Structure 1
Amino acid sequence: MARVCVGMVVSLDGFISDRNGELGKLYASFKPNAKIKEMMEQTGAVVMGSNTFAMSKNPDAYADNYEFQVPLFVLTHHPPAKHPKENDNLTVTFVTEGIESAVQQAKAAAKDKNVVVLGANVSQQLLKAGMVDELQIAIAPLLLGSGIRLFAHLEDLEVQLEKLRVIETAEQVEVWYKVLK
């Protein structure tokens, strides 16, 4: 059965974007090695929020060069008027029925592979709902000072984690945790 995995690159001080909402500095050091690529190949579907989806200035570009060529499930209140380009592997489904529906649809599409969750707001919602199985946190070698925090708005939530693995690349460290229920 598909596991729900929050997967993000964060600065050492916990931000997933800089003060201008840009990701470039974080991903400048993200160079997946063979182990990380192998783990990425275990992704069967992606759930993301509309803000994360909109970060691509050209939504049609997902079909051409997105790192995950799998079905995408975009949580939104307002689907775009024009549906983005798709291909044989990458489809885009705009989900307006809530986070539970997005995860159910993604799990069905992923089959035995993982569902990767991208975006701070969606990740926070899933953590609050107790629907996250693993956290996959790649720590970028920089301090941003401000921006969007991955683990903001979780004041009343305590989550116990168990370390599963640590993968080191030349530039960063990626830590995988199991979320204990």
Structure 2
Amino acid sequence: MGKVVAQANMSLDGYVAKQDNSIGRLFDWLQNGAVEFPTPAGDLTLHLSPSSSEHMQRWVSSLGALVCGRTLFEVAHGWQGRHTLDVPVVVVTHEVPTDWVEAHPDAPFTFVTEGVEAAVAEAQKLAGDRVVTVTGGMIAKQCLELGLLDEVAVDLVPVVMGAGNRPFFGELSAGDVLLGNPTVCIPGDCVTHLVFPVVR
């Protein structure tokens, strides 16, 4: 099985979104370069710096499945049935959105009602030896607390968002979780791409 990696664009003060789920300046680096990078689903073209383009190509080519929560699924309107990264998506939810499923019969989405651990296990089946990425702060937090993560990947953006926003992990019920020394994958333009191993 491949690694399970929590990934986020994060502000310098640790936030991944504002309280209303808007992202402020966190994604500016995806459109601040000269290198065109069509997303795998073909629904968007990014404009990256050469270094960020190299990093993005490695990241995208490693992915096999994505795990997210119901809130992110709803905010993104289910990506209209095909995620931008063009990988199978496993959604952690209390209730399967049957109307959405019926409206998108060919969408590679799986809805898991048995919790985060079951969702990650399902994603690993789908991904095989490729990476399962976990996105959304609450889901990432639960995966970290359950010992399901191998790595934490942060695209660190030099912006301070201030109080009242959504932190990447939030308050942990188990206290501190130690991460290993980061690998600085590549410094981009207005972003630094970091990967932290999770120490077990």
The two structures share one fold, judged by TM-score above 0.5: yes
Match for 1:92: what amino acid?
Answer: F
TM-score, reference length from structure 2: 0.81
* Structure 2 counterparts to residues 154-173 of structure 1, below 5 A: 154=172, 156-163=174-181, 165-166=183-184, 167-173=186-192
Shift of 1:67: 2.8
Q: Which residue does the alignment assign to 1:139?
A: 156
Normalization by structure 1: what TM-score?
Answer: 0.89
User: Does residue 1:99 correspond to 2:116, yes or no?
Assistant: yes
Any runs of at least 4 consecutive aligned residues in structure 1 with deviations exceeding 6 A, and if so which? none
* 1:62-103 Cα distance to aligned partner (Å, 9 max, x none): 41xx3311110000002213216365xx61011101111101
- Does structure 2 retain, via aligned residues, the 8 Å contact 1:44–1:115? yes
Larger Rg: 2
Cα distance 1:14–1:164, how it changes in 2: closer, same or farther (>3 A)?
A: closer
- The verdict on how the C-alpha distance between 1:143 and 1:47 changes in structure 2, with shifts beyond 3 A counting, is same
For 1:8, the equivalent position in structure 2 comes to 8
Aligned position for 2:55: 35
Partner secondary structure for residue 159 of structure 2: coil
Q: Write the distance in 2 (CA, Å) between the matches of 1:62 and 1:11.
A: 29
Q: Secondary structure at the match of 2:29?
A: coil
Q: Give the alignment of 1:81-100 within 5 angstroms.
A: 81-82=98-99, 83=101, 85=104, 91-100=108-117
Residue 49 of structure 1 is matched in structure 2 by 69
Q: What percentage of residue pairs aligned between the two structures are identical?
A: 27
Instruction: Report the CA distance shift for 1:143/1:44 in structure 2 as closer, same or farther (over 3 A).
Output: same
The answer for unaligned runs of 5 or more in structure 1 is none
- How many residues in Structure 1 have an aligned counterpart in Structure 2? 176
Partner amino acid, structure 2, of 1:144: M
Q: Are 1:78 and 2:78 matched, yes or no?
A: no
Question: For 2:190 and 2:24, how far apart are their aligned partners in 1?
Answer: 15
RMSD: 1.8
- 1:70 & 1:152 partners in 2: Cα distance? 27
